[in-house]
A = this chain, B = another copy of it.
Amino acid sequence: MARNVFRATAKSLAQGLAVETEARGFKVQLDEPEALGGTDTGMNPVELVLCALGACQTIVAKAFAPKFRIDLEEFWVELEGDLDPDGFMGISDVPKGFTEIRYTMHFRTNASQEHVEKFAAFIEKTCPVGDTLQRPIQLVPAGVVVEH
């Protein structure tokens, strides 16, 4: 068992709903569009979830293409997810997060459609972020600290 622990932080910025996130020194600024109460200085967290899924599929594609003997010149994926903000706003009992996420994968390669479809199925079942989204994950509150 080689359990790894991955870490990140998120911190409010002075302006509106803007947030700075950080992992291993790499930073990403997030916000909400004006229509959702923010000042639009970055993508929002649910868009970031789609980016995480697409990036994970891309990395699996690039990392495992040689094993499938696929000469993968380029890979890209378009993702979209359904979310009803009425849940978040407390207006209705619909789920607060995504209900469905769809994606279309593009492979620039000379491999056949049939072989690429087998590879796509492998990517789907191997991608750690996809697995994280498809299984219920245990979220554990580890502390509430009031700073004065």
A interface residues (Cβ-Cβ under 8 A, vs B) = 1-12, 16-17, 19, 21-24, 26, 28, 30, 32-33, 37-38, 42-59, 61-63, 72, 74-88, 90, 92, 94-113, 116-117, 120, 124, 126-148
Known contacts: A107-B145, A131-B95. The answer to whether A59 contacts B19 by CB under 8 A is yes
CB within 8 A of A1: which of B94, B112, B113, B148? B94
Q: List 22 A-B contacts (CB under 8 A).
A: A6-B50, A7-B47, A7-B79, A9-B78, A12-B74, A17-B62, A21-B51, A23-B44, A30-B55, A32-B59, A44-B59, A45-B55, A45-B129, A88-B126, A96-B126, A97-B135, A101-B138, A102-B139, A104-B145, A107-B147, A113-B144, A134-B139
A136 to chain B, nearest CB (A): 6
CB neighbours of A101 from chain B (8 A): 137-140
Q: Name the residue on B nearest A45 (C-beta).
A: B56
CB neighbours of A74 from chain B (8 A): 11-12, 147
CB neighbours of A105 from chain B (8 A): 141, 143-145
